[in-house]
Amino acid sequence: METVAPFETETQSDSPQTATVAGQQLRDAMGSFLTGVTIVTARSEDGTPYGLTVNSFNSVSLDPPLVLWSLDLKNNRTDLFRSAKGFTVNIMPASSESLIRKFAAADADRFNDTIWYWGVSKQPVLDEALTSLECRLWAEYPGGDHAIFVGEVIDIRHGQGSPAAYFKGRLSAFPE
């Protein structure tokens, strides 16, 4: 697993455009980019399952099969994902709204009353997921106030349902 240092490109250093946008402006703009919703899970060092709701998930490469997501450094979970050496991306159905909210809420006992099991890579897999991608940690990159985790997909499990959608800060069902 490689950790890559931030770099300055020619474009960054030579750009006459020095202005930037505020974080809230970017958050608002990204709100109009409709995404699915995932719950990313991993095994903590003490052997207990951990997970959080994530919509920064995307695919990266088919050969090798790579996906990525980014973790807010405020969550203080970087070491957990480093030591887990992997994670599962559980793509959630619209019917799992309460689980999606539970895995984003502070102080929630997230795995209590949640059906899950240890997958082939010994990372937690959620039973309700539409699709679960078990990953080996492939690389970690700095991403400003987030850490970007890239995983190599080593196992895929398909469930059933239609996907949850996240748009302008609201959870809903995929508009079919």
Q: Which residues bind ligand FMN (CB under 6 A)?
A: 37, 52-56, 69-72, 75, 103-104, 106, 166
Residue among 108 and 120 whose Cβ is closer to ligand FMN: 108
Residue among 155 and 172 whose Cβ is closer to ligand FMN: 172
**Which residue number places its CB atom closest to ligand FMN?**
56
**Would you tell me how many other CB atoms lie within 10 Å of the CB of residue 30?**
12
Nearest approach, Cβ of residue 95 and ligand FMN (Å): 16
What is d(CA 10, CA 131) in angstroms, rounded to the nearest whole number?
40
Contact predicate 78/85, CB 8 Å:
no
Single-letter code of the amino acid located at 176: E
Residue among 30 and 120 whose Cβ is closer to ligand FMN: 30
What is d(CA 78, CA 70) in angstroms, rounded to the nearest whole number?
10
Residue among 62 and 106 whose Cβ is closer to ligand FMN: 106
Nearest partner of 148 among 70, 86, 78, judged by Cα: 70
Nearest approach, Cβ of residue 12 and ligand FMN (Å): 24
Nearest approach, Cβ of residue 25 and ligand FMN (Å): 18
Residues 6 or more apart whose Cβ sits within 8 Å of residue 22: none
Residue among 70 and 95 whose Cβ is closer to ligand FMN: 70
Residues 6 or more apart whose Cβ sits within 8 Å of residue 106: none
Nearest partner of 164 among 140, 137, 125, 128, judged by Cα: 128
Residue among 39 and 125 whose Cβ is closer to ligand FMN: 39
Identify the DSSP state of 176.
-
Nearest approach, Cβ of residue 6 and ligand FMN (Å): 18
Single-letter code of the amino acid located at 160: Q
Nearest approach, Cβ of residue 14 and ligand FMN (Å): 31
Nearest approach, Cβ of residue 53 and ligand FMN (Å): 4
